[in-house]
Structure 1
Amino acid sequence: MMERNESRKYLQHWLNNSNRPLLIIGAAYSGKTFFAKSLENEPQLAAIHYCTKIDPESLETGTILRNIAWQLVNRFPNLVIPKLASVTFLTHQNSALHHFLIKPLQSLPVPKVLSFILIDGIQKEIIPLINQLTKSLPSWLKLVITSRTLHDNELKIFDRFVILNIDENPNELIDFIREKLPQIDSDCVFECCQGSWFYISQYSRALNANLLTLPSTSRSSNDDNLFTLSSHRCNFIPNGVSALLTAIESELPTHLNLYLQLITASRRPPTRQRLIAAIVLTANRPTNLIESDLHECEPILECTDPLILNGAWRERFINDNECEEGHTLWAQFIQRTGCDTLQTLIEFAYHLAHSGELHYLDRIRILREFGADMIELKCPVFDYMTTDLLVKAGAVILNQRQQKHDFVFACTSGDWTSVMNLLDAVSIDELRSGLIAASSRGHADICKLILQADPHAANYVDSQQWNALRSAACNNHDNVWKSGHECVVRRLLKCNANVDKQDAEGRTALMAAAFMDHANIVSILLTNGAAPNIMDNYGSTALHLALSSGAQTFDHNETVAVLIKGGANLNLEDMNGRNCLHIAAYHGDQNLPTIIDFIQNIDAQDHNGRTSLMLASSQGHLIACQQLIEHGADTDAIDEFGRTALIIAAMSGFLNVCEMLVSFGADEGHKDNDGAVALHYAVAHSDLQLCKSLITSTTVQATDTRGVHPLLIAGQRSSVPIVEELLKVGAPIHLQSHDGLSPLRAAAISRNEKVLKYLLEYLRKNGEKLELDELDLDGVPLIHTLLVLRDRSMVTMLLEYGASATVRDSHGRSCAHIVAQLNDLKLAAIVRKYGAEFEARDEDGRTPLMIAVWSSNYKICHYMLETIGVAPNIADYQGATALNIAANNGQRDIVMLLLRFGAEPSICDNLGRCASDVAQLAGHDHIRVILK
């Protein structure tokens, strides 16, 4: 998936610098969901939810919160989420959100790294939920939402949000065009797509499926088998999404509208089998023909089973009037196959309500025949039209007093009265889920009630592998000192709760309490026989987890002390081979000196060969590093990559750690397995002081296994002061890497203009040869590389410092050949100013004009013929002229252009073929007619 780098940079800047939520807006199909999906692997993304009209449940408060909560539980294992009923989210939205999600989040230790939740494609019905989340989420968990472009009055609702208009950066869209449609001029597509990323994706899929073809003016290159389209022929490309859909629709099956209406009208995306069954039953089409049609429709489907339409196809029949036929067919299908469940009956009512009276005049009677008058609804269903029809057919919507209260919600919120009233009426599973919820909130009185009713509930494990004791040990309560979690734990233990009960990941109540730094609970559990050295599925003990929280509080220190006193083995290793000292060093824990006293080997290595000192240096923990060294840690120990603590600190750019390690005698000249010294990594950070601490006469000369030395890296990624410092100490300015890269070339290719200029001036000042026209190992001069990068300022700078505009690559191509291939008039003007030869021949005898014709580059052809005045009748070594090439490729516009500027049709190639003959052989009769 293509990276939207500019938008990512903005998101990262917002995350690190703003305390406000973020709203990403853009026109329909402008790539918002595409961007959201590209963030799924972002380390700081805690949860993501996609709202879409094709799945109406995705817009329901309960669905959104459950989906987000499930992802947060996976990220924060000590988050206890109660099992609230769906109706609770509707009837008590504010309170449900607080007790279901916000209160548990507020109880967690504050993570070191900020995280964010992303909700994509918000609709007006969830705006109240968005506003609640904005006000309630803890400061370390931020909110990002995406939406289509909003009107000014709608934007007022989001006045607290930072706004990113994703449409304002066209460069990302152009990159996407070049990735998906490399065979078509990006300027043309950019103009015609009108900002739609869907347009680009769908056009590409249509071309790949041969639903659309490129215009006749396109050509197939002998070099890359790609088609290119002359950029002035934009009228051949569908203009806008509607035009594209119309063009594709003409190539799809004749029953397309039937399929679109049925898929759109379905309450949820239908399975392939269900859609086929519905069409067979209601439209009398044979199964094999339907299967064939659906196969042909795959280029417009996002998913083939269940059937989900791609992008704008979903909105082809978005209005009820346009989709009545689809609803009618679904209603007929359900009526004929029967309503065997309440869900099917309500779905039947949904389709009847949207079918229109002409199709079903007696909808109320039909619903009653299927038992609608016997339904009791806890809340409105689907939409107003469906609910209204059901009520007219006799269904009853219960008011809040008539409905059964949510027992688990009462346990979660501490509603003792409701719990008492409901206690005898709830199921065993509800009772036990209520105990887990009450335990996590420290509601001791409610726990007492439930345990009196069902003592066995103490050992119940729910589907999420929670038990009451571990839930109480976590204590998801924002005011710990007010909660009764200690009483809950004692009562559960008194009821014979298994103190060492492990969940699916092997975690116990002791581990939960240790991670949350509940020292008193840890002490109670240990006193009642909890084993301190049980390992979870990842090999972590309770002490491992306590140290991994990264806390620096009195409660944390007390928890660590209690665990050590309770018999924790600090030398046990987790699945990564890390003991407690490794974990403490990595997090810079205050208890490090105490832990060192219990460790058998201070230089013990984990499975990556890293010692505690290396782990501390990787995170920049200066005090931890100093304490380890003072206790005898080896500063020059190496990991499996051959790296020392100094190299690891330099990789992360920790100046103070590097200075301290050097002061303790760390070897600046040590090479890792790649042959790199610490300075190789330091120069990438643009930190002058960091580099100075590592620069010696030896390290500036050091080359890695690829022949790269620090000055080469500095040329690519550093600033002028660092380059200057390296050169002062004797860095080799002419030394090339094994692949022929010099510092000068590295700076130029990386577009590091300031460093390039400094290096050029340095060489000139010292009377050294600039060697700007040297070829690299692939036989390409630097000026050609910069032309391909289309970097005009760097090209101009190099030419001003004496680079030749006539220099050839190993294939005899000059700068003029390159700009002809690129179709870039501004670059052509620059190299022409510095003496580029526009009639030079390459090794095959081709001129820049011929290269431009081969590439279908009309603009540069016109420029060379009219402005420069190149000769149109030069022949290559096979005797072919530019006109012969254009005739072979069927390029009508370029043929006409060449004829206008004096191209001679009668010139024959080495095989005796004139342009007309070539056109005939290539099957371009329209070109042959012109040439005759």
Structure 2
Amino acid sequence: MRWKNISSHKRAVLEPLLDLPPPAQTLMIVVDALDAQCAPGQRVGKSGSIAQLLANNQHLLPSWLLLVCSIRRQNKDVCKMFSSFRRLCLDDLRKPPTVRDVQQYILCRLDEEAALRRQLTPDTADMLNLLHIKSGGCFLFLERVLDGVAAGLVGLREIRDIPGTLNGLYLWLCQRLFPRALFVYVRPLLNVLLAAPSPLTTQQLFTAAWTQDTTLNVQDFQNKLHTLSPLLIDGPEGTKLLFHASFTEWLTDVKYCTQKYLCNQTEGHSMLAMSLTLQGPHLDPEGACQLATHLVCSGHHKENPSLLALWMLWTGLPPLTASCNETLSTSFAQLPPLVSQEVPQLLMKSGLLSPARISDKEASVCTRFPVEQGDPLDTMEMEVSVKKLLDSGHSVNQLESSGQTLLAKAAIEGSANVAKFLLAHESDPLISDHHGQTPLTLASRQGHVKFLSILLEWMKSQSTETAVAMMEHIDNEGWTALRSAAWGGHCEAVRLLLDAGADVNGCDSEGRTALRAAAWGGHEEIVLTLLDYGAQINKADSNGRTPLIAAAYMGHPETIEILLNHNAEVNLADGDGRTALSVAALCVPTAAAIKGYGEVASLLLEHGADPGHRDNDGMTPLLLAAYEGHEDVVELLLEAGADVDESAGPDGSISAAAAVTPLLAAAAMGHMNTVSKLLFWGADVDAIDCEGRTALCLAAARGSLEVVRALLDRGLDENHKDDLGWTPLHAAACEGHRAVCAALTDQGSMARIGEMDIEGRTPLILAAQEGHLSAVKLLLDKRSLIDHRAYDGHSALSAAFLEGHTEVAELLMKRGADTDVRDAEGRPLLYLLVLEGRLDMATLVIEKGGVPLESRDSEGRTALHVASWQGSVEIVDLLLKHGANPNAQDAEGRPPMHSVAWTGNGKVGHRLMEANSVHIDLACHQGATALSIAAQEGHVNIVKMLLGKGANPNHIDKYGRSPAKVAGKHGHVTIVRLLESYGAKPYLGLLPNSSTVSPSKPNKILSSGMLEGNGVEVTATTSSSSVSSPGSTGERFHSMQSSQTSSTCHSLATVQTVPADSISFIQQIQQHSLPRSRSRHSTLPPPGGSGMGSLHGSSQRLTKCLPPPTVCTVTAMVHNCEPPQKGLSSGLEYLDKKNKQSSNLIKAERAAGGRWNSVMASLGIMPSKDSPLSAKNREIPSLDYPYRLQSPSQVEAWDALPQNILAPVCYSFSPTPPSSALTDDVMVTTDPHLNLKQAIKLQFEGPTSAALYKRETPL
């Protein structure tokens, strides 16, 4: 916001804030990118920006308002304005929160973007770990690299080559996007974008570019725009602008972008001025002001502004009348500081604006940005100014904030006269800045030949040691002066350095020479020069990459031809086993308007490159080119003798384990032209990959309609099933590719709509589960069975509901889908939705699906039981509102109020109490009421609520125990006194002191055996019952145990069960390389085991599939429904049923915070049969004495005695599922034979067990 003056700001903002009453807590006002209007080094006058305004008035802000600003640390001037502020570094990777944020950003991008996951293999996870380190905490760095990976511009393997700074990244990116002289082709557009005061439309951009090159046509312009597209983003109303302000600064900073990529804003101003000139008579006052601004900024006729005034007159601009004053005031206020005075003067000189129309107010606006004189940066070009600076006491070798001396600054500018003057005054050229760069290195990088000549002449007068130290100095990134000049393309500077004695084969610690740098940049003349001076042509760096491989990587055919003509070894392989031909097949850069990408491969093949060479991963150039879709390279390789059906592997002989052929690779990536080439050359269309998928299956999963149709025309079987029983239609439906589904089911097609996979799922179920509405509509129109149930009992409707796909669920209900769906364990759909906490979906199925509210699971529990246990007030309200029975009893006679008594959730209790006809003293089969249970558990709030509603305080259960007796035995003194105050009989037993037994809730139990991944003991909220609290139905639905017949390859996979906190960042990344859609496990339990979907299995089945206890031990005291035997006191404590394991046990218990007894035996989990233990070695506690568990925090459960069970039983459990079921905390490693494409982008689907997420598996 712009304010006309400081006083208005005070009146409009500060004074009203001061008059406000202070709030209860401190508030913050956050100003992000405060330095956006102030470039580093730019000095502005009083209140010339928002930064100045805040800095001048910060002391007037009220004490309860905290000002928080974000500023780039490079902008020292803005930082000085707020010197009293506390400074926090947001991108310090030495701090754990920053590291965690960076890692989570990478993981979230992997979660959300399939294009990223397709590039990922377990072995390239190291590259993303390296990326998070290189980023230095800069999210822009991460975003650009990951965007490039997703768009196919950058391979994960290339992250190791990316510099570790944002400026270095921009330079590396430009080198990849603009090989050879391509940047010259697009520089005019960048000049215009840099000079534009606001975003331009494509038409405005074209007009401006056309003024410089009138031969430019629309097609050429579109090609240029396409070439620039990775650097552009869409602005408002169809405009285009550069992706970030830091990149615009980089393009104009020769220190970082080098002369090769340096842009000129003045040229952009000239083009914009010309484009506005064409519209002269039709320009409004704002346009006239812009024209004057562009003319002034263009730098033309600085010495004679009258010529610019004549130009504006000849343009035919209409005069600026009095009605334009307000527009002019706004325009003048937005002028750049450096031209704020010259633009109004030009308008007045041209006669368009009368001096009388410039009021004092506008005049003050025009003059409020005075440029301060005397800054060394502004005066260094003149020797006299430098002399005055030194005479004022400024040391000739004094370091500025950047660590540079005056000589280093002169080197950047190329000021030869200043350099001569400074050297005469004993300036030391060996002093390096913060980056280790000396004036010689800086001048060499910029190619300032005159400056270099002066330095080298000075060097001749020095000792040999000084000369060598100066010439061979290496900066912090390993650059010598010669390497810098060679990489920058400065041929004359290279010759000067070589003639002065620079080592032509000198290299950094990584072994990179000047010849490699020149080859990388594609500078043919410099390559020839270095070779003439004796550069070693085959010298490799530490990664084994020679200059030839570097040139092939960057796609410079002219440089490659020079190297080959000088006898470069064409088949030398780097550390990854890749030759120049392999690199060319994989990394040939693509850019609009540049043709003949096969030229590099053609040159290499002509000079004897081996087309059958295999890298360390067993990949040939043909496989790599097919995956990348380089059809011209594919054809060249086939003409050179490559086998069209060769497969990946060290020797090409791997059969079913990794039978990936070029056709499968091209089909999997949807490269139609490449597929056509391979089919023309006779590729085997019947090849299958390691999971039994044909090219048609892979193309369908990719969604490439053209490839699918081409393969169907070749006769591929549309009903072919892979190892998981998926047909191509399953793959297309799961990914939501409607057009492919339509092609596969067109009239005359043999595809079977209702075909089931090995889990019993049809394509309709997969499409509904993934939420692909259009695919679901198509399959329904093709008469797919709407109520088909998979082996886990789920239909398309239940899959859509559980995944939260509202539109799909509504469509299926409109088409008549049955809403009374039960899973394999007999749990109704409404029950499962409540268990998942899906209020929105539960509302939908009740209001539009007419689902029965009283449908029960196998234990007689309704949805209201579930909601009451979980404490979901909104869902309880929903169920009661639609008529759910608040007195519904399960198989053990327990109503929903008993769940409230166990969990202590007062809000749910009040909702149930408000329901009509609720029976407050309803007892279970043991005779316990809600009051009895709440008294045992120590929930004072529930006891008080029940008593207030008239609950009987003297109720006696089947064993003669009253609520007061139970509370007294558990040490709940407060509850005993409360019961007595409501008329309960006095408790006659012993009451413990508060110092020995805490009357607080006994829900929290310290798990003595539970350790986090780092080995630190932690406290967990666990259950004291026979079973865990209900797990997540969604996780069971997606993480069910795989059928053992799902895939022969999957049998090679191993499951590692580890606590989530112990998984490293690399391991978390590796998990994302696993297949998503094919990693969901089957709900069909294997023989002798209990699948994750079946949590009611017997204890015998459980024992067979349980892993050994690894995490924690829980001691449980629970109810039993059988009466006590004769001769045994009712006061004895006993146990009920044996604990059954759940994959989400610890997580659910932490969330619930309470014990889960057999009185409410796990919603969705049925306790197994009694497991009686002998009374041997067990002590019977004395009557009427509080019996202690393993720790003081553990207390008794509800009393009753089954047969001879006299004491608690310990159950050990692991938080991970049995057998091979996967959850978020499980890491899976795939068959090592399948990881043949480590560190390279080639990637299809690997071995998995089931099929419900998106198919992206690394090869």
TM-score between the two structures when normalised by the length of structure 1: 0.59
Q: How does 1:852-871 map to 2 (within 5 A)?
A: 852-871=900-919
Instruction: Note the alpha carbon deviations across 1:127-157, whole angstroms, 9 max, x for none.
Output: xxx854454379xxxxxxxxxxxxxxxxxxx
Count of matched residue positions in the alignment of Structure 1 and Structure 2: 606
Q: 1:848 to 1:81 in 2, by over 3 A?
A: closer
Instruction: Note the alpha carbon deviations across 1:750-798, whole angstroms, 9 max, x for none.
Output: 233333333334347xxxxx3x435311231111011223334433443
8 Å contact kept, 1:546–1:556: no
In the TM superposition, what is the alpha-carbon distance from 1:679 to its structure 2 partner? 0.7
- Richer in helix (by share): 1
Task: Name the aligned partner's letter for residue 892 of structure 2.
Answer: D
d(CA) in 1 for partners of 2:155, 2:753: 49
Match of 1:443 in 2: 490
2:520 corresponds to 1:499: no
2:599 corresponds to 1:558: yes
Please state whether the residue corresponding to 2:717 is helix, strand or coil: coil
Match of 1:823 in 2: 871
d(CA) in 2 for partners of 1:38, 1:697: 46
Task: Name the aligned partner's letter for residue 37 of structure 1.
Answer: Q
Q: How does 1:596-675 map to 2 (within 5 A)?
A: 596-607=638-649, 608-675=658-725
Instruction: Note the alpha carbon deviations across 1:855-891, whole angstroms, 9 max, x for none.
Output: 2211110111134352222222222221122222222
In the TM superposition, what is the alpha-carbon distance from 1:38 to its structure 2 partner? 0.8
8 Å contact kept, 1:677–1:699: no
Q: How does 1:205-244 map to 2 (within 5 A)?
A: none
Q: 1:588 to 1:400 in 2, by over 3 A?
A: farther
Q: 1:679 to 1:406 in 2, by over 3 A?
A: same
Match of 1:521 in 2: 559
2:399 corresponds, among 359, 375, 378, to 378
Please state whether the residue corresponding to 1:668 is helix, strand or coil: coil
Match of 2:797 in 1: 744
8 Å contact kept, 1:518–1:555: no
Please state whether the residue corresponding to 1:493 is helix, strand or coil: helix
Match of 1:458 in 2: 504
1:407 corresponds, among 405, 418, 440, to 440
In the TM superposition, what is the alpha-carbon distance from 1:700 to its structure 2 partner? 1.6
d(CA) in 1 for partners of 2:585, 2:717: 31
d(CA) in 2 for partners of 1:833, 1:739: 31
d(CA) in 2 for partners of 1:107, 1:516: 8
d(CA) in 2 for partners of 1:887, 1:689: 63
d(CA) in 1 for partners of 2:166, 2:880: 68
Match of 2:1082 in 1: none
d(CA) in 1 for partners of 2:173, 2:580: 21
Instruction: Note the alpha carbon deviations across 1:79-116, whole angstroms, 9 max, x for none.
Output: 6979xxxxxxxxxxxxx997x66444422236999989
Q: How does 1:695-714 map to 2 (within 5 A)?
A: 695=745, 696=749, 698-714=751-767
d(CA) in 1 for partners of 2:498, 2:159: 25
d(CA) in 1 for partners of 2:849, 2:822: 17
Match of 1:136 in 2: 250
8 Å contact kept, 2:732–2:738: no
Please state whether the residue corresponding to 1:917 is helix, strand or coil: helix
8 Å contact kept, 1:683–1:718: no
Please state whether the residue corresponding to 2:663 is helix, strand or coil: helix
d(CA) in 1 for partners of 2:176, 2:938: 69
1:430 corresponds, among 473, 491, 503, to 473
Q: 1:711 to 1:76 in 2, by over 3 A?
A: closer
2:822 corresponds to 1:794: no
d(CA) in 2 for partners of 1:689, 1:104: 39
Q: How does 1:63-212 map to 2 (within 5 A)?
A: 76=158, 102-109=170-177, 131-136=245-250
Task: Name the aligned partner's letter for residue 598 of structure 1.
Answer: A
d(CA) in 2 for partners of 1:418, 1:539: 43
Match of 1:253 in 2: none
Instruction: Note the alpha carbon deviations across 1:145-188, whole angstroms, 9 max, x for none.
Output: xxxxxxxxxxxxxxxxxxxxxxxxxxxxxxxxxxxxxxxxxxxx
d(CA) in 2 for partners of 1:707, 1:865: 44
8 Å contact kept, 1:845–1:876: yes
2:998 corresponds to 1:884: no
Match of 1:775 in 2: 822
Task: Name the aligned partner's letter for residue 509 of structure 1.
Answer: P
Please state whether the residue corresponding to 2:869 is helix, strand or coil: helix
Match of 1:832 in 2: 880
The structure, 1 or 2, with the larger RCO (C-alpha pairs under 8 Å, 6+ apart) is: 2
Match of 2:1080 in 1: none
8 Å contact kept, 1:514–1:543: yes
TM-score between the two structures when normalised by the length of structure 2: 0.44
Match of 1:874 in 2: 922
Please state whether the residue corresponding to 1:716 is helix, strand or coil: helix
2:637 corresponds to 1:595: yes
5+ unaligned residues in a row in structure 1: which ranges?
A: 1-22, 53-57, 66-71, 83-95, 118-129, 139-373, 383-397, 765-769
Match of 1:247 in 2: none
Q: 1:762 to 1:888 in 2, by over 3 A?
A: same
8 Å contact kept, 2:520–2:551: yes
5+ unaligned residues in a row in structure 2: which ranges?
A: 1-67, 72-86, 92-96, 111-115, 117-127, 145-153, 180-226, 233-243, 253-394, 404-422, 432-437, 460-465, 650-657, 981-1259
In the TM superposition, what is the alpha-carbon distance from 1:742 to its structure 2 partner? 2.0
Match of 1:760 in 2: 813
d(CA) in 2 for partners of 1:687, 1:828: 39
In the TM superposition, what is the alpha-carbon distance from 1:532 to its structure 2 partner? 1.0
d(CA) in 1 for partners of 2:607, 2:694: 35
Q: 1:694 to 1:40 in 2, by over 3 A?
A: same
d(CA) in 1 for partners of 2:831, 2:228: 44
Task: Name the aligned partner's letter for residue 564 of structure 1.
Answer: L
Match of 2:268 in 1: none
d(CA) in 2 for partners of 1:510, 1:867: 82
Task: Name the aligned partner's letter for residue 136 of structure 1.
Answer: W
In the TM superposition, what is the alpha-carbon distance from 1:505 to its structure 2 partner? 1.6
d(CA) in 2 for partners of 1:879, 1:681: 55
Match of 1:40 in 2: 106
Task: Name the aligned partner's letter for residue 776 of structure 1.
Answer: D
Match of 2:527 in 1: 489
Q: Pick which of 578-587 and 513-522 moved more.
A: 578-587
Task: Name the aligned partner's letter for residue 175 of structure 2.
Answer: S
Please state whether the residue corresponding to 2:708 is helix, strand or coil: helix
8 Å contact kept, 1:840–1:848: yes
Task: Name the aligned partner's letter for residue 891 of structure 1.
Answer: H
8 Å contact kept, 1:864–1:870: yes
Task: Name the aligned partner's letter for residue 618 of structure 1.
Answer: A
Q: 1:624 to 1:852 in 2, by over 3 A?
A: same
8 Å contact kept, 1:517–1:555: no
2:958 corresponds, among 903, 910, 920, to 910
d(CA) in 2 for partners of 1:104, 1:545: 17
Task: Name the aligned partner's letter for residue 409 of structure 1.
Answer: L
Q: How does 1:524-535 map to 2 (within 5 A)?
A: 524-535=562-573
Question: RMSD of the TM alignment (CA)?
Answer: 4.1
Q: 1:580 to 1:786 in 2, by over 3 A?
A: same
Please state whether the residue corresponding to 1:699 is helix, strand or coil: coil
8 Å contact kept, 1:888–1:919: yes
2:625 corresponds to 1:584: yes
In the TM superposition, what is the alpha-carbon distance from 1:623 to its structure 2 partner? 1.3
Please state whether the residue corresponding to 1:829 is helix, strand or coil: helix
In the TM superposition, what is the alpha-carbon distance from 1:818 to its structure 2 partner? 1.6
Instruction: Note the alpha carbon deviations across 1:359-411, whole angstroms, 9 max, x for none.
Output: xxxxxxxxxxxxxxx998634599xxxxxxxxxxxxxxx99966644322221
2:976 corresponds, among 922, 928, 932, to 928
